[in-house]
Amino acid sequence: MKLHGKTIVITGSSSGIGGEVARLARFHGARVIGVDRNDPMLTLDGFVKMDLGDPLAIDQAISHLPAQIDGLVNAAGVPGTVDRDVVAKVNYLGLRHLTEALVPRMPKGASVVNITSILGAEWPHRLDLHKQLAATTSFAAGKAWLDAHPAPQETCYQYFKEALIVWTKKRSGSLFMQHDIRMNSVAPGPVFTPILGDFVSMLGQERVERDSALMKRPALADEIAGPIVFLLSDDARWVVGANLPIDGGIEAAYT
């Protein structure tokens, strides 16, 4: 996993999975620029404060990011215990807005890695809806579509992780064919991060107990970071449009 000479931008870098990816990427020689709404809690090569829920704030913050970006990790996100509009803006619309704005700064061979979830595994059941949302061309257009087709509050986290998987798959083809930029995603299961408790509240005790019987334990954040760094590296130069489960076998157990 050689990242020497690469500049990697990581959202959600101040904690959790994003923080562990930042540590590991720097260990492998990358120059890491963190992006978060909270101040950084680890050593970085640069940091930009950004609110992914606000497209104007994103556009203003982008001017402080490097002119060339070899990798982008979209690790920032909020749990489904917050309002569905916030989940939509941060976990999908803002993520997409930032990514598209940075594409012109990415050279051939660059890589984008999105963080989805095993909770997005039922995306085929709503494929038509997710494709319609993916076809919207801007933050505003996406918001208007969602206003007309609102996601249920109780399952909004799952819904937008499904939507992110579909967008990743749809957009990855044109990015690779037209720009030689690779886009993939990883789908973690439960992870020991600061928002793990929110997921317990969101899913309910019955679902948590059922999933607990299928796994050894929640993952540690550094166990998610390794596969992400692999996808950023040139070793993954022919991996395009994949959604890699990193869940200790939970998805397989449901088969």
- Residues serving a catalytic function are 157
Give the pair of three-digit tokens for residue 164: 């992110």
Separation of alpha carbons 145 and 132, rounded Å = 8
Count of other CB atoms within 10 angstroms of residue 104: 9
What is the Cα 242 distance to its own chain's centre? 13
Separation of alpha carbons 229 and 24, rounded Å = 7
Give the pair of three-digit tokens for residue 125: 């059941």
Give the pair of three-digit tokens for residue 155: 């399952």
| 191 CB-near residues (< 8 Å, 6+ apart) | 16, 17, 218, 219, 220, 221, 224
Handedness of CA 12, 241, 62, 21 (dihedral sign): positive
Q: 21 and 223 in contact (C-beta within 8 Å)?
A: no
- 3-state secondary structure at position 206: helix
Q: In terms of residues, how long is the chain?
A: 255
Indicate the residue type of 66: P
